[in-house]
């Protein structure tokens, strides 16, 4: 899905609030008028949306799990075709749903922006939801008389470029689907951009947004995509014009990135940015896209590659250790028990003959 040709024709906002200290709900405040942006305000808003959901962003694709008529995905499916009056009413339903989903007292309130329009060469429909946190900030002022600059405190600012402070969800009408289908997943493609998803243990914290509120879940295909990512990246590293030692380091980096990194999402952009030089990063991004992998982030699921990532280790009493990835161990290492020199007791010692079907690339 390419987020080109983005055109937004309806925007409406409501305000939602953090729960009270006792956990009770504070009702959201409704707007009845649509927001009208000037052209530069609209350009900036579109740029926030593209930053959050576009190619190279941290957005992940999700699938619709809650398909009932009272759930959000069904509500959105109906909304896109509604007239302005009904759209406005439905948008407040969305704000109410989010208020309900924010069960933990620690989750802040903010402004909910609901917007719809078209995207893509064929001008397909889409609907977006942004939950933007409100923070204080400063505004630059220039004195009319002295021309001196000063800072004015602004109590409530939102939607600055820092995309840690807003969550975005986009429901995009797919370009091809059976019009008679009842399966919402076949009609809609969902992208969610939430910084929380990628932090340590963030999955649980982010659940209120993508699961309780949006009615979505991690795609079933995550394991497949993760495996494809692993294989494509391994192939790329193997073909790189660098020393074998460097390749070993990069393979280790890939394993670490998948196994140890606490983020629940994988981003090829992120991996490339950490481990490759600039020119290689660009080549890697193109390669990954050519392999059919997503150009945004995607959710991590190691189910299919667990065995590849495991390490098999054999230790000897003398602190000699041999480690190798599990699947290579069987093929590359031959271990045989042999009889060694005679010990003091006159018995042959138990030795082990190890044959490694490979050459040395690195010694320390």
Partner 1 sequence: MKEDKFKEKWISEKPIYKAWGEFILETITNELKNRGKNLEVFLKVPPICRLKQDDSLIDKAFYRPDKNYSDPYKEIEDKIGIRFVVLLLEDIKEIENILKESDYWEFDPCKHFEIDKKNEPLLFTYQSVHFILRPKNSLSFAGVVIPPATPCEVQVRTLLQHAHAELTHDAIYKAKKAVKPEVHRTVAKSMALIETTDTFFGEVVEYLNHGPVKEYEILERLNGMYELFVDIKPCTHKSSLYLWEEFEQLASIELPEDIQKFLDKYPSLKDVIRSRYSSNILYQQSVILFLYWMLKNKRKRLLKDWPFQRTLLEQMAGDLGISIRD
Rounded CA-CA distance 189/171 in Å is 6
Residues in the chain: 364
| Closest to 356 measured CA to CA, from 330, 334, 325, 324 | 334
Rounded CA-CA distance 276/274 in Å is 6
Q: Can residue 74 be called a binding residue for partner 1 (CB under 8 A)?
A: no
Chosen residue from 35, 50, 96, 211 binding partner 1 by CB under 8 A: 50
Q: Can residue 53 be called a binding residue for partner 1 (CB under 8 A)?
A: yes
Among the residue ranges 64-72, 277-285, 316-324, 330-338, the one whose residues contact partner 1 (CB under 8 A): 277-285
Residue 16: enclosing H or E segment and its boundaries?
Answer: strand 7-16
Please identify, using beta-carbon distances, which residue of 52 and 107 lies nearer to partner 1. Answer: 52
Please identify, using beta-carbon distances, which residue of 88 and 295 lies nearer to partner 1. Answer: 295
Following DSSP, what letter does each residue of 109-145 receive, concatenated? -EEEEEEEEEETTTTEEEEEEEEE--EEEEEEEE-TT
Q: Can residue 51 be called a binding residue for partner 1 (CB under 8 A)?
A: yes
Following DSSP, what letter does each residue of 212-263 receive, concatenated? IIT-EE--TTHHHHHHHHHHHHHHHHHHSSS-HHHHHHHHHHHHHHHHT---
Residues in contact with partner 1, shown as a per-residue x/- string from 160 to 179 under the rule CB under 8 A: -x-x----------------
Q: What are phi and psi of 227, to 5 degrees?
A: -65, -45
Please identify, using beta-carbon distances, which residue of 45 and 87 lies nearer to partner 1. Answer: 45
Chosen residue from 10, 12, 57, 72 binding partner 1 by CB under 8 A: 57
Min. distance of Cβ 224 from partner 1 in angstroms? 25
Min. distance of Cβ 47 from partner 1 in angstroms? 5
Three-state SS annotation for 291-314: CCCCCCEEECCCCCCHHHHCEEEE
Q: Can residue 285 be called a binding residue for partner 1 (CB under 8 A)?
A: yes
Three-class SS of residue 21? coil
Q: Can residue 286 be called a binding residue for partner 1 (CB under 8 A)?
A: yes
Please identify, using beta-carbon distances, which residue of 286 and 331 lies nearer to partner 1. Answer: 286
Min. distance of Cβ 101 from partner 1 in angstroms? 26
CB of 163 within 8 A of CB of 148? Answer: no
Min. distance of Cβ 121 from partner 1 in angstroms? 5
Please identify, using beta-carbon distances, which residue of 2 and 362 lies nearer to partner 1. Answer: 2
Chosen residue from 13, 16, 52, 192 binding partner 1 by CB under 8 A: 52
Three-class SS of residue 100? helix
Among the residue ranges 65-73, 276-284, 327-335, 354-362, the one whose residues contact partner 1 (CB under 8 A): 276-284
Chosen residue from 7, 20, 32, 47 binding partner 1 by CB under 8 A: 47
188-193 and 60-64: which strand pairing?
antiparallel
Rounded CA-CA distance 154/136 in Å is 6
Report 115-144 residues binding partner 1 (CB under 8 A): 119, 121
Number of residues that bind partner 1 (CB under 8 A): 27
Spatial CB neighbours of 235, under 8 Å, sequence gap ≥ 6? none
Report 6-45 residues binding partner 1 (CB under 8 A): 6, 43
Report the interface residues with partner 1, using CB under 8 A. Answer: 2-6, 43, 46-47, 50-57, 119, 121, 161, 163, 273, 278-279, 281-282, 285-286
């Amino acid at each position: 899905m390419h987020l080109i040709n983005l055109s937004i024709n309806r925007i409406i906002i409501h305000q939602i609030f953090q729960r009270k200290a006792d956990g009770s709900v504070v009702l959201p405040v409704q707007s009845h008028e649509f927001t009208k942006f000037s052209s530069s305000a609209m350009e900036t808003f579109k740029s926030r949306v593209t930053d959050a959901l576009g190619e190279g962003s941290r957005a992940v694709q999700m699938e619709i799990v809650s398909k009932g008529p009272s759930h959000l995905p069904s509500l959105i499916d109906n909304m896109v075709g509604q007239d302005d009056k009904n759209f406005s009413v439905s948008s407040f339903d969305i704000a109410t749903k989010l208020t309900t989903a924010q069960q933990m007292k620690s989750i802040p309130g903010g402004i909910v922006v609901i917007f719809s329009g078209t995207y893509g060469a064929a001008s397909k429909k889409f609907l977006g939801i942004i939950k933007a946190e409100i923070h204080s900030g400063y505004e630059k002022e220039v004195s009319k008389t002295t021309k001196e600059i000063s800072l004015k405190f602004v109590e409530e600012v939102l939607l600055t470029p820092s995309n840690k402070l807003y969550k975005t969800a986009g429901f995009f009408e797919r370009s091809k689907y059976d019009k008679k289908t009842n399966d919402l997943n076949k009609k809609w493609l969902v992208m969610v951009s939430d910084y929380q998803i990628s932090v340590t243990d963030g999955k649980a914290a982010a659940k209120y947004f993508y699961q309780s509120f949006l009615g979505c879940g991690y795609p079933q295909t995550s394991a497949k995509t993760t495996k494809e990512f692993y294989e494509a990246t391994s192939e790329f590293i193997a073909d790189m014009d660098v020393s074998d030692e460097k390749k070993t380091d990069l393979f280790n980096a890939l394993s670490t990135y998948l196994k140890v990194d606490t983020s629940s999402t994988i981003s090829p952009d992120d991996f490339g940015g950490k481990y490759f030089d600039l020119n290689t990063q660009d080549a890697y991004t193109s390669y990954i896209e050519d392999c059919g992998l997503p150009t945004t982030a995607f959710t991590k699921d190691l189910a299919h590659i667990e065995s590849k990532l495991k390490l098999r280790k054999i230790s000897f009493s003398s602190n000699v250790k041999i480690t190798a990835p599990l699947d290579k161990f069987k093929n590359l290492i031959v271990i045989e028990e042999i009889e060694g020199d005679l010990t003091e007791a006159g018995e042959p010692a138990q030795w082990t003959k190890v044959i490694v079907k490979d050459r040395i690339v690195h010694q320390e």
